[in-house]
């Protein structure tokens, strides 16, 4: 029995050592250097090359190294095994810190003043009056964000697939209520998972549901947004600004219009990055559960794709 770490874009020695410490009798191996692929019973995945998981016949369960699973499920040869994702208070805290910083950036008009500095313009302006906020997706991160901004004094609405009851938050559910959720918001934060239903969901029609002058923040996945519709909504003033941390193609290609658009702030997928030290315990626990055939912590509903 052994665990494979299949995460090509990351140095894995720290994760390997910490998992080895938590599971002293289990071999922890870094793909592609696997001693015997048939002995791998559990795999930790992030941006795994398509087809690799299907070459491991002894797998009992899969673990995403992040909160999202869209990249893992995109592999059409993936066997239908139990799949868990990361839910971690430290990841949530990092996301709230990022969103708080972005909210301050716009409230204090730092976007405007940065542009003015480049022109050596001295034009004082009072802060933006941002009072209403909508969170798309009321899961682990969305609910935390909604409550955080409600505590900061915002009137908050939230939108999910199933109806929620969260004290202090106006909750809406399903496509028929999306316009209601968005209608009043000065700021819209996207925290939806990328699934067949949300792919390209934020299109011209949805941007038109927003209040003119809304500021849009995407910290979920780039492919949820129709890039051309976003640019058009910014160019006509329907949206005032957009902060984008995630993109359809990452790294964002140098020729992409988002880089140089004056109303777009680009950050390189840094809003909430998994930290090895805070997630090792749940990965080790999921390995133990998988070997006993138990339900995993934070197991994904494969029929919904999140």
- Quick note: the x/- pattern for ligand NAP over 24-53, rule CB under 6 A, is ------------------------------
Query: How far apart are CB 195 and ligand NAP at their closest, in Å?
Result: 6
**83 sits near ligand NAP (criterion: CB under 6 A):** no
Radius of gyration of the chain from Cα atoms?
Answer: 21
Q: Which stretch binds ligand NAP (CB under 6 A): 7-15, 46-54, 214-222, 236-244?
A: 214-222
**What is the crossing angle of helices 140-151 and 89-107, to 10°?**
50
222 part of the interface to ligand NAP, by CB under 6 A: no
Q: Is 261 a catalytic residue?
A: no
Q: Is 265 in the site for ligand NAP (CB under 6 A)?
A: no
Nearer to ligand NAP, 46 or 287 (CB): 46
Alpha-carbon distance 176 to 40, whole Å? 45
CA distance 162 to 188: 19
Two structure tokens written together for 165: 């009851």
Residue 83: cis peptide before it, omega within 30 degrees of 0: no
| Cα–Cα dist 96/109, whole Å | 20
Catalytic position from the list 107, 221, 256, 292: 221
Closest separation between CB of residue 130 and ligand NAP, Å? 21
Q: How far is the CB of 38 from ligand NAP (least distance, A)?
A: 32
CB-based contact 47:65 (threshold 8 Å): no
DSSP letter at 303?
T
Q: Which residues bind ligand NAP (CB under 6 A)?
A: 67-68, 137-142, 159-162, 191-195, 197-198, 219-221, 245-246, 269, 271-272, 306
């Amino acid at each position: 029995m052994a665990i494979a770490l299949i995460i090509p874009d990351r140095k894995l020695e720290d994760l390997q050592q910490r998992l080895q410490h938590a599971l002293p009798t289990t071999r922890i191996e870094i793909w592609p250097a696997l001693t015997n692929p048939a002995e791998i019973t559990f795999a930790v995945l992030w941006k795994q090359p398509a087809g690799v998981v299907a070459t491991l016949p002894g797998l009992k369960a899969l673990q995403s190294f992040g909160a999202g699973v869209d990249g893992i499920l995109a592999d059409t040869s993936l066997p239908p095994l139990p799949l868990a994702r990361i839910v971690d208070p430290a990841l949530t805290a990092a996301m709230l810190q990022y969103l708080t910083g972005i909210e301050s950036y716009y409230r204090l008009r730092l976007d405007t003043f940065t542009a003015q500095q480049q022109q050596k313009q001295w034009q004082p302006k009072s802060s933006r009056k941002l009072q209403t906020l909508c969170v798309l997706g009321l899961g682990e991160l969305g609910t935390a964000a909604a409550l955080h901004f409600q505590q900061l004094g915002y009137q908050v609405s939230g939108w999910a697939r199933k109806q929620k009851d969260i004290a202090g938050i106006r909750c809406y559910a399903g496509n028929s209520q999306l316009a209601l959720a968005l209608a009043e918001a000065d700021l819209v934060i996207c925290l939806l998972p990328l699934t067949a239903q949300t792919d390209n969901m934020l299109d011209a029609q949805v941007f038109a549901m927003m209040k003119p002058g809304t500021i849009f923040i995407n910290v979920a996945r780039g492919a949820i947004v129709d890039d051309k519709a976003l640019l058009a909504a910014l160019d006509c003033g329907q949206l005032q600004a957009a902060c984008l941390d995630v993109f359809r193609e990452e790294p964002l290609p140098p020729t992409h219009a988002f880089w140089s658009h004056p109303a777009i702030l680009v950050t390189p997928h840094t809003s909430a990055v998994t930290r090895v030290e805070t997630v090792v315990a749940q990965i080790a626990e999921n390995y133990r559960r998988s070997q006993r055939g138990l339900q995993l912590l934070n197991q994904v509903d494969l029929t919904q794709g999140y």
